[in-house]
Chains A and B, each alone.
Chain A
Amino acid sequence: MSSGRLDAVPARAAPTQGVPRHPAWGWLAGAVALAALAALAAAPAATASDYWLSLGINLLQYAVMATAWALFSGPTRYVSLATVAFFGIGAYTFAVLGETWPQPVVLLTALGLGVVLAVLTGLATLRLSGVHFVIFTFGLAELVRQLVTWWEVNVTKSVGRYVFVDITQREIYWQLLALLVAVLALGAWIRRSRLGLALRVIGDDEQVASHLGIDTARTKILLFAISAGFITLTGAVMAPRWTYLDPAIAFNPTVSFQVLIMALLGGAGRLFGPLAGVIPLVLLFEVLSARFPNHFPILLGLVFLGIVYLVPNGVLEAVQRAGRPRRTESPS
């Protein structure tokens, strides 16, 4: 009763693992990925429309965050509810330092802050059971928001900041695309490395993992810090998009919720699972928030409940299961 973790796909059901494939498939997939990347990178140059560009930014933003979320929460099955705490720290770091320091330095500072907070959170909770982690992350965004507000009220004497920098929407788009490539590449590498194997063992059974000599706490903290680092960077990259920023905007809890929904819809156990959830849901939320701005949180909650009840392991898993021939259904 003290696990508090996503209990998604049992390891046995991960179907593509260990199945030998023809090497040509690898090349083909690589070529397709490169072509898609080139098309995505060139897309802003081809369209002059602000609407499509901002939709693209939205998609990429959630793609990076959902993939980064699943990097840690997918294999370990620890539900992190603190996404927006890190996102907000990134955005706020940029709001405070963005006008005076060069952008790469600001991004590095944000990254550092996010990683430090993640490591502290991990040190406090990840050595214990998953419940403590869930509870700690549940209030973390609110805590950081209150601390930032307190600081602004008492020290800088103003709540809310204007961000005036000359970073164009296109630059934001390209930076997010670079982040997405980085998080996917890192995710692919981790899955093949000893670290990824250790994570999967932890996800299956933590006691077995520690008996095998895996330093479970260190592994979890490392992965949580990497995941949080990407989310913080996303916040810092996105900050110039708003010209005005205050704690309520930067630490909006629906962001955590949306990232969680997207990752779960696609399936948090797979590298490309979150992407499969991001694309339909960003489009859906775009429509919903425009049409029903007042009822948006209710609809968001209903969509989420639908996912938890109907596709608990993500759509990719459901599709694969439906497409699989009958006789392999019961291998045990």
Chain B
Amino acid sequence: MVLIDILLGGLTLGGLYALVAMGLTLQYGVARIMNLAHGEFLILASFAAFVLVSQWRLHPLLALVLALPLGFALQWAVYRVLLTPLVRRTQAGPALEADSILATFGLLFIVQGIVLVIFGGNYYSYSYLSVPVSILGSTVAANRLLVLALAVLIGGALYVALIKTRLGTAVRVVAVAPRFAPLVGIDVRALSALAFGLGGALVAACGVLVSMFLPFSASMGVVFTMKALVVVIMGGVGHLAGCLAAGLLLGLVESIVARLVDPGLTLAATYVLFLGVLLLRPAGLFGRAAR
């Protein structure tokens, strides 16, 4: 069944893209940092998972559990050490966006360079749960289903945390009204760092998920960043449900193109979708018109 194949493949990819984009939208919507090195941190986590699983004989799910706090700590530190000086210099004004684009563009080459030095340019993968499962007459590898379930679980947990908890509400306040947040006793810098770190935890988890079912290489990060950026714009900046919808849409479109047209044209499909959004709804599917 081609239709079921496409649907399942698209949902898995889409769930993953949605999760990557949620991390980015936290960093961009709350901390106001457009992180061009986002995908590099994903690939970094994939390689870390590869080492843990294939050399240290760790269970991939344990690697996933480890990835969350480590990814958080790493990106929290990146924000504190590398980006705080920029926030201070620009006083979080419009110049911050340009400066952060430049700084994270530099970071992209550094992280990618480190991965290249250690692992080289080849594709890596390990085998985990690659047993065929039959669903409605179509066969999928079990690891894909697991990835989909985990993506839903992590994304759902984040959504509930942001909507239901006090801290999550504070994060949303910073996203919506950074200038007024201090008036109600919210420490904007600390929460920006927290949101940036949360984005890091998400992207690290995504890296481990990628390593479970896809071959990956050091130079793949840019493509993930690009797709996450498109999903964030498409869903509306800072909009988690928008991320989910846009991510699933992108995954489905890609899956259709890869299956029915040519796997080499998936990035082109991303761009076509992006163009459509730019021409029809520049503020995103759910976003309100900015400015």
- Report A's interface with B, CB cutoff 8 A: 1-7, 77, 79, 81, 124-125, 128-132, 134-136, 138-139, 142-143, 146-147, 149-150, 153-154, 253-254, 257, 260, 264, 294-302, 304-305, 308-309, 312
Contacts and interface: CB of A to CB of B under 8 A. Distances in A.
Nearest to B37: A301
Interface in B94-142: 94-95, 97-99, 101-103, 105-110, 112-114, 116-117
> Interface on chain B toward A: helix, strand, loop, or mixed SS?
helix
Given A142-B226, A143-B271, A298-B113, 7 more contacts: A7-B93, A129-B291, A130-B98, A138-B225, A142-B267, A146-B267, A297-B113
B282 A128 contact: yes
Contacts of B82: 305
B169 interface: no
Contact of A138 (B95, B112, B229): B229
Interface in B253-291: 262, 264-265, 267-268, 270-271, 274-275, 278-279, 282, 290-291
Nearest to B230: A135
Nearest to A139: B226
A136 B98 contact: no
A21 B97 CA distance: 38
Nearest to B85: A309
A312 B116 contact: no
B274 A301 contact: no
B93 to A, nearest CB: 8
Contact of B99 (A138, A143, A308): A308
A134 B101 CA distance: 9
Contacts of B268: 143, 146-147, 150
B6 interface: no
Interface string B63-106: 00000000000000000001001100110011101110111011
A132 B282 contact: yes
Contacts of B172: none
A20 B158 CA distance: 61
Contact of B102 (A125, A138, A308): A308
Interface of B: 32, 34, 36, 82, 85-86, 89-90, 93-95, 97-99, 101-103, 105-110, 112-114, 116-117, 222-223, 225-226, 229-230, 233, 262, 264-265, 267-268, 270-271, 274-275, 278-279, 282, 290-291
A312 B99 contact: yes
A217 to B, nearest CB: 13
A327 to B, nearest CB: 25
Nearest to A151: B264
Contacts of A81: 105
Residue in B109, B223, B225, B275 with the greatest tally of chain A CB atoms within 10 Å:
B109
A249 to B, nearest CB: 14
B113 A295 contact: yes
Given A131-B34, A132-B233, A138-B36, A150 B262 contact: yes
Main secondary structure on chain A at its contact with chain B?
Answer: helix
A2 B291 contact: yes
A97 to B, nearest CB: 23
B95 A298 contact: no
Nearest to A309: B85
Nearest to A136: B274
25 contacts: A3-B94, A4-B97, A5-B94, A7-B95, A131-B34, A131-B233, A132-B233, A132-B282, A138-B222, A142-B223, A142-B267, A143-B271, A146-B268, A150-B268, A253-B222, A257-B105, A264-B102, A294-B116, A295-B113, A301-B106, A301-B107, A301-B108, A308-B106, A309-B103, A312-B99
Given A2-B290, A124-B275, A142-B223, A298 B97 contact: no
Contacts of B113: 295-301
A150 B265 contact: yes
A79 B279 contact: no
Contact of B264 (A129, A149, A305): A149
Contacts of A139: 222-223, 226, 229, 267, 270-271
A93 to B, nearest CB: 20
A3 B100 CA distance: 12
A142 B222 contact: yes
A216 B251 CA distance: 35
A146 B99 CA distance: 29
Contacts of A304: 102, 105-106, 109
B278 A125 contact: yes
Contacts of B110: 297-298, 301-302, 305
B52 to A, nearest CB: 23
Given A1-B32, A124-B275, A146-B264, A7 B102 contact: no
A154 B278 contact: no
Contact of A257 (B109, B264, B279): B109
